[in-house]
A and B are shown apart, each in its own frame.
Chain A
Amino acid sequence: MNKTTCKSWRRAAAVGATLGALALPLAAAAADAPVKIGTVLSLSGPAAVFGLPERDAINVVAKKLGFKSPGGRPFELVLHDDKSNPTEAARAVTQVINNDKVVVVVGPSTGSGILAAGPIASRLKVPLIAPAGTMAVGDRKNEFWPWVFRMAINDATSIEFILKDMAKSKAKKVGVLYQEDAYGKTGVDLAKEIAPKLGLEVVETVSAPYSATDLTAQATRLRNAGVDTVFLQVSIAALGTSFLKAARQIGLDKPIYANAGLAQRSFAENVGPEADGLRTLSIGNLPFEPIAEEKELSDLLKADGKVPQGWGEIVGANGLLAALAAIDAQAGKEITGESMRTALEGLCGFRSYARGKICYSPDNHDGWDGSSLTIVEIRDKKMRTLD
């Protein structure tokens, strides 16, 4: 055994890593854009399904604007991958603020990433524009609440929207499948809380880990509970696919609804006939039936060679537009993280690529209400917007 060679490899790797780490601040010091906007998004890992469209939209909007805000202020984007990992999200936010000197951060992409990065943003006094619906992100009990501005619909609003559509169909007994994480658990708890107010009852809940390759047992349990309709609180497309196949296999022939995680072009196009009739919540319908504001964004993406995927592009693009609107609100002034926070709290009805109006205030950091939401139905590999 040649341990020396092994050690020398390790030593070389350590030296390489150190040199790499040293190179980062040097590269940042060379940059000279007047206003720097950080984008910390999930470009790899499970949440890349949202992070990649967010990044694409931010890039095409920035290019279209010529890297100048609508008011003419030049800006620069500093992009980091949080790897769908809260620890990495916190580290990346620290880096873009301390090393790259950004005055606002769009991201991180996931609720857990935002919760991890929030205390850092608060300590370093730089606001986060958060593209996630996780309720805890907008909890006013968080010490970092003043520094987090949501650029998505909160989960309570989303789930109420879905349950209202269910209630229209005369369904009474609801079964819920949720993924085993904070997103899934919060969703099922909210569904149980909201359902009775709409004349519904959650009669059975089942869960599945990310790794599940077969959900026939879960589907069987919902079928045996005699549910009238099923709600999927999942964001992992493979789980949604697996459940739809399982439901078909075991004869669970009931209307199925899903939260916005499955409102993706790739999901609609790849699942097959099992997805026909699936209703999912979505922020707009960018890939298939965009309204005028969304179509503009869709065209920008297509012109850049991208295929619009879903609402990820909408929250990403509007996150950047919110940051730029806040910059323009401070024309002629020195811009800091603190001044960005104050400016964001005064934003309302700025130009956006969405069907709803986005308004922040000192008491409201959620921004969007339910007016931007829609229910889409998957049919023939397309998402059709329902009235």
Chain B
Amino acid sequence: MSAGGATTVDMVVFGVLATLTTFFALFTITRRNPVTAVMSLVATFFCLAGIYASLSAHFLAVIQVLVYAGAIMVLFIFVIMILNREEVAPFSLRPLRVLGVLAGVYLLVKIIDVVTVGLPEAVPGAAPDGFGTVAAIGDVLFRDFLYPFESISVLLLVAIVGGVVVSRSHQKEVAAVEAHDYRHQIEELAHHDYPGEPPAPAAPEGYH
């Protein structure tokens, strides 16, 4: 970022990236095919990473590409692979949802009103030295936010375990229960056919 103010280059870059972001986001929620939606979501995240970089958030821009465009998107693609279903009618507009849309539009108008009135139009001054670099963020993260950072690891662990438990197949358990019942049935039947008979006749002792 330039120190003096918004240069023409900044304006053009932001304009292009913001337009592309909005366009791809709209594309994401309007496509019928989930694969197209995911691809435009990836494009949205890439454009957003560019916008993050223009806010001198270089570390976050890299993380955005790694985590969103990398990990989360692969997850989405895999799930689409498992359950790819074309929709008959993608949008559902019931009376309650129409109300929700109206409320959302009202909220949008109000928020833009508040934002454009409440904040100065001035360009923020030059970022401090090393703003948004890995070193600077690491300093804040491991000094002031150590416990939240550690609790993220717990959260991720819980998410992993939860994901495995929720999505695991129950077929093996059902098969095991059925096998157990089956064995039980066989034993009962055997008992029914030969009541009172010892399971295996033992060889008499001392018989030659």
Q: Is A bound to B?
A: no
On A, residues with C-beta under 8 Å from B are none
On B, residues with C-beta under 8 Å from A are none
